[in-house]
Amino acid sequence: MKIETKHIIVLAIVGAVVAYLLWKRGVFTKVVTKVTGTGDDTDTGDADSPSSLDYILEHIAFTNAERTKINAVYNHAMNDKTFYQYLIANANEKGYSFGQMVVLNAIWSLYTQNNSWVAGPNGETSYGWKLQQKVLQLNGQSL
C-alpha cells in the first residue's frame, strides 16, 4: 500500500489543527502561581525549595492520615478557585508559601477543635502545633 503525498499533507494539516485546538484549550500549559510571601512556590512547588509542598512532604514524616488530609486540602484548592484564593490570601498575609499554607491548614483542621489544639497520635495536645513548627522551620520560619 502506497501512501500518496496528498494523504500525508492532509494528515499534517489535521495534526496541526488538533495541536492548535489543544493548545488553545490550555492542555500544554502549566499554571504557575507566585506567592508574594516567599516568592518561590508554584502550585506543587520546586522540590528544592524548603517552602514547597513537595519539599515539605519529602522532609517531614507525616502519618498516613496527615498525608491524606494534606492531599485533600491541596485537591480542594486546585478544584475550588474560592478556596484557592483563600489559601493564597492567607499565605500572603502571613508571609508563607502556598505549599506551607496547604500543610498548615491540613494540620490545623486535623488537630484543632473549637480553635483549641487536641491530642495528636502521641497523646499530646501540642502535637499539631509542634508539627506546624516543623513545617515552618524547614524554611527558617516560625508561627
Q: Is the pLDDT of residue 65 over 90?
A: yes
Residue with the bigger pLDDT between 59 and 36: it is 59
Q: Over 50: is that where the pLDDT of 40 sits?
A: no
pLDDT tens for 3-17 read 788 878 888 898 888
DSSP SS3 for 87: helix
Considering 1-10, 24-33, 115-124, the range whose residues carry the highest mean pLDDT is 115-124
Q: What is the mean pLDDT of residues 105-132?
A: 94
